[in-house]
A and B are shown apart, each in its own frame.
Chain A
Amino acid sequence: MYQEHYIKVFRLCKGYFNGDEDLAADATQEIFIKVWQNLDGFRNESSVGTWIYRIAVNTCLLHLRKPSTRKEIKIAALPEQEAGQYNPQVEDQLKKMYACIRQLDETGKMIILMVLEGIDYKDAAEVAGITEDTLRVRIHRIKKNLSNCVQHDSI
C-alpha cells in the first residue's frame, strides 16, 4: 500500500506546492505518518487509495496557508522532456499551464491535480466530498478557465 501510493501522493503534493520537491517530500512523509496513525479508523467504506488521498489533500490544505508554499513554480519541476524532443513552444505552454493551475482556487487546484494524476472521477468526487456530476461540471469549467488562461494569461 505504502509503496504503491507514495509517489502518487508525492506528485499530488508537488502540484499543491508549486513544484517545490522539499515541501512535497515533507508533506508526503507527514501524510503517511497520519495514515499509519489512523489505520484503525479505516472502515473499508472506500478504497484505501481514496482514503489516503483524503488524508493527503486535507494535510496539504493546512500546509498551503504557509507563505513558503506559495512560491513560483520552479522550471525544474515541470515534466521532463527528452533532449532531442525539446520544443520551446511546448515548453512555454507547459510553463503557462502550471502558472495557470497556480491561479485556480484551492478546490479547483485539488481537483485538476487529481485529474492529472489519473485518479478516477468516482474516487476524486469522494475525496472532494461532492457528487460525480458536480465534479464533471467543475472539471469542465476548470479546463475552460485553464485554456483561456494559457491563451490570454488570465483566469
Chain B
Amino acid sequence: MLKTAPPPEELVKKAEKNTQQIKAKHWWNISILSLFIVFLIWFFGYTAGFKISQASAGFLLMILSILLRVVLEYASYAGFSKIEISKSFKEYTEQVTRFYLRRKKIHYLVTPVILLVYITGFILLLPVFRQHLSAGFYTYIIISGTVFFIVFAWFIIKQIKKEMGLLFFLKNIQ
C-alpha cells in the first residue's frame, strides 16, 4: 500500500519530459505535413507544362488520400487536446462523447472515400508499371501494394472498433 507521495521533483521532471514529448510530436506532425505540401507544390509546378499522365494522376491520388488521412488525424488530435480535463465529470463526458460522435462521422463517411481514392490511384498506376517494369517486379508491386493496403485498412478498422467501443461506454454513462 502506497503510504507517501513520490518526491515532487521526480513528478515535475516527468511532467516536463511529457510536455516536451507532446511538443516534439506536434512539430514532427507539422514538419511532415509541410513536407507533403512542398512536395505537392513541386509536383504541380513540375507537371504544369505537361498533360497530366495516368501515372502521375494515380500517384497524386494515393498521396492525397494519405495526406487527407494525416490532416484529419492531426485535426482530431488537436480538437481532443482542447477539451478541458478540469471540467466537471458531466461536462467532460458530454464533450468527449461529442468528440467521438464527430469521429464516428469521419470513420463512416470520409474513411471509405479515402480508401476508395487510394485504391483508384493504385489501379491507375498499374498499366504504367506493367508497361515499364519486368513481370517479376510487377507481380512484386501488386503483392506488396495489396499487403500494404490490407495492413493500412486493418489498422483503421481496429482504431474504429476501439473508438466505437469507447463511444458506447460514454453513452452508457450519460
* A61 near B90: Cβ-Cβ < 8 Å: no
Could you tell me how many residues of chain A have their Cβ less than 8 Å away from some Cβ of chain B?
A: 37
Instruction: Identify whether the interface residues of A are mostly helix, strand, loop, or mixed.
Output: helix
* A61 near B5: Cβ-Cβ < 8 Å: no
* A55 near B85: Cβ-Cβ < 8 Å: yes
B11, B88, B96, B172: the one contacting A129 at CB < 8 Å is B88
Q: Is A16 an interface residue (CB 8 A)?
A: no
* B90 near A129: Cβ-Cβ < 8 Å: yes
A79 to chain B, nearest CB (A): 10
Size category of the B interface is 20 to 34
Complex interface: chain B residues within 8 A of A34 (CB): 85
Between B2, B18, B165, the greatest number of chain A beta carbons within 10 A of the residue's beta carbon is seen for: B2
B5, B166, B173: the one contacting A105 at CB < 8 Å is B173
Chain B 3-17 per-residue mask, 1 if CB under 8 angstroms from chain A, else 0: 111101001101100
Q: Is B54 an interface residue (CB 8 A)?
A: no
Known: A2-B8, A65-B165. A54 touches B14 (CB 8 A): no
* A7 near B5: Cβ-Cβ < 8 Å: yes
Known: A65-B169, A105-B172. A128 touches B89 (CB 8 A): yes
* B14 near A107: Cβ-Cβ < 8 Å: no
Q: 6 tightest CB-CB pairs across the interface, nearest first? A: A129-B88, A129-B90, A6-B5, A36-B15, A33-B15, A58-B92
